[in-house]
Structure 1
Amino acid sequence: MEEECRKKNTLNPPKNLYLNELTGSFTDDYHLVTYKILSSMYWVKTRCPSVPWVIRADDDILVDVYLLHKLLPRVALDGINCDLRLHQSMPRLGVLISRQQPYSSLLFQPCGATLAYYHWLLMDRWLWLVCLDPYLWL
């Protein structure tokens, strides 16, 4: 019990300082990931309505922000753009594949992941569809 309290107290100062933890009234479970995505979209939409893009990435990937900055002006503005690699094989042991340069897996563990970025003008429509349809496929 003492160990749990110590861990919680260690995590709380950064959370309170940066306000970077979003939680909903549901269990943080893989099967409820849609709820997590929707609640985070709603939070951003209500508190940061002027941002032009929202980027959603799993917590186990490395995002090349310089490459993403070059890519965003070239993608469709009225949709969900997703970089999903279904048939990509796992990188060779010891290296994580990126589009710019290989990173040592001692620093970043190899994993499969999806990066999605949404143009913000459509967010009202997407959130409204959630009320009409019981499923939102992301």
Structure 2
Amino acid sequence: MSLFNVFDITGSGMSAQSLRLNTTASNIANADSVSSSIDETYRARHPVFAAEMQKAAAGQESSVGVQVLGIVESDAPLNKEYSPEHPMADKEGFIYKPNVNVIEEMTNMISASRSYQTNVQLAESAKNMLNKTLMLGK
């Protein structure tokens, strides 16, 4: 594996963590939304990652990056609250709130941010090693 493959790996890692940060921010932004129907209530979303094993197994590349398989909605139960005076209450007096746990989302945000920063530092280290290798030829 050459140092150039490090840039592919760290780039795919940064893209994946950026997507993770965006979905986490979306979850936090919608944490306090209210709906009058279960079907219309926001549900927490989470990205699903996998190693790009197809390329490595086919012998196309010696490096393996991160592949985003998709974004899934959480199947955790929604928060149902009895609030008949609320303007969004259904005919039985219930409002529905998202299944977003803000503490978990903040933890995800910190983790994604640190993972992103680690990938940036790895790319920077690889760049420095390549520069020093080029300086050997002078």
In the superposition, the TM-score normalised over structure 1's length comes to 0.21
Q: Which has the higher contact order (CA 8 A, sep 6+)?
A: 2
TM-score, length of structure 2 as denominator length: 0.21
